[in-house]
Structure 1
Amino acid sequence: MHKPALLQRILATLEHDVEVLRRAAQTAYETATAEENIAENKYDTLGLEASYLATGQARRTAEIRQALLTYQQLVLRDYDPARGIQVGCLVTLEDEDGQQRRLFIGPEGAGLKIGEGDALVTVITPRAPLGQQLMGKKVDDEVSLVVNGVAQVQYIIDVA
């Protein structure tokens, strides 16, 4: 998957997520403010719980909207070996067993997965431990993370 197509898929996914969360927050708000959900005693907490849910969903919607705005302003550049890996790079890593995975270094939206199978790309940010290690690295460099007490070494085999 090329970076412009990947960026469009990220934007579409974030737009969809914003809409789904907006509708969910609206439903929770309507439940929280419905007259039939006014508490009749101290144990009647449906309205209060719906209010908490609406607040959390509204916050998450705002976070995704911010990520969407950030991606809309993202300028994709070609990989420059002199600068190494930067935000906007599409990186392919390979572990010692030959397993490959593709990562997009994004400004936001960590954990977002785009595509499936061999075309799966995971979004990470420079704030993540792996993202921190990748910044400035080049093809043929290696990164190492300790997961559950085991060091995992991966090699950068391609950067776009």
Structure 2
Amino acid sequence: MDKQIITAAIISALEAKLSIALAATQRAIDAATDEETVPEHKYDTLALEASYLAHGQAMRVQECEQELNVFRNLKVRSFEEQAIAVGAYVELEDEQEVLKRFFISPCAGGLEVSYQNHPVYLLTTLSPLGKVLKGKLEGDEVLLSIADKSMTYQVVTVR
């Protein structure tokens, strides 16, 4: 298992996310400063709304840049015979014997990348599943309870 390939895929996905955020920010700025958005009366809030959108998009760009910076500086290490923590690649098997793959991430939870033609999901230790996985070892069983639904997972692989 080569986690360098996974982190490279994550960096690529984060770069694409940043590119989209930058384009959206520019469109929002253009809309906020367009002559068409100049208020015609005191109840015309189009320009104000466009400026709020531009500000929100700029904050999104900052978040994307921070996530990208975190992954560019992430030290990849092996987790064989070690407890699950940030940087671990984890394979879980659910009750229906379906294998799911996760990369325990410091940020960007929910992002999906592909590794060996399989989806790998970024999972932070702040997420419900990340919280129950933290500190577990290969072979452990974990129970995830959200609202009135419970799922049991077997930790198959930790690398």
C-alpha change, 1:139 and 1:116, in structure 2 (3 Å) is: closer
Q: How many residues align?
A: 159
Match of 2:39 in 1: 39
Paired with 2:59 and 2:13, the residues of 1 have a C-alpha distance of 18
**Contact in 1 for aligned 2:5/2:115 (Cα 8 Å):** no
Match of 2:148 in 1: 149
Does residue 84 in structure 1 map to residue 83 in structure 2? yes
Gaps (5+ residues) in structure 1?
Answer: none
- Worse overlay, 44-53 or 21-30: 44-53
Paired with 2:70 and 2:16, the residues of 1 have a C-alpha distance of 16
C-alpha change, 1:13 and 1:133, in structure 2 (3 Å) is: same
2:78 maps to a residue whose letter is: D
1:84 maps to a residue whose letter is: A
Match of 1:67 in 2: 67
Does residue 110 in structure 1 map to residue 109 in structure 2? yes
How many angstroms does 1:23 deviate by? 1.4
How many angstroms does 1:115 deviate by? 2.1
2:140 maps to a residue whose letter is: D
Q: TM-score, normalized by length of structure 2?
A: 0.93
**Contact in 1 for aligned 2:123/2:130 (Cα 8 Å):** yes
CA root-mean-square deviation: 1.7
1:90 maps to a residue whose letter is: Y
Residue 17 of structure 2: SS of its match in structure 1? helix
1:78 maps to a residue whose letter is: S
**Contact in 1 for aligned 2:80/2:158 (Cα 8 Å):** no
Percent identical residues: 38
1:121 maps to a residue whose letter is: V
Q: TM-score, normalized by length of structure 1?
A: 0.92
Gaps (5+ residues) in structure 2?
Answer: none
Deviation sequence 1:117-155 (CA, Å, 0-9, x none) = 960000011111211211111011111111341211101
1:98 maps to a residue whose letter is: E
Which stretches of structure 1, 4 residues or more, deviate above 3 A after TM superposition?
A: none
Paired with 2:116 and 2:151, the residues of 1 have a C-alpha distance of 22
1:46-57 pair list within 5 angstroms: 46-57=46-57
Paired with 2:71 and 2:117, the residues of 1 have a C-alpha distance of 24
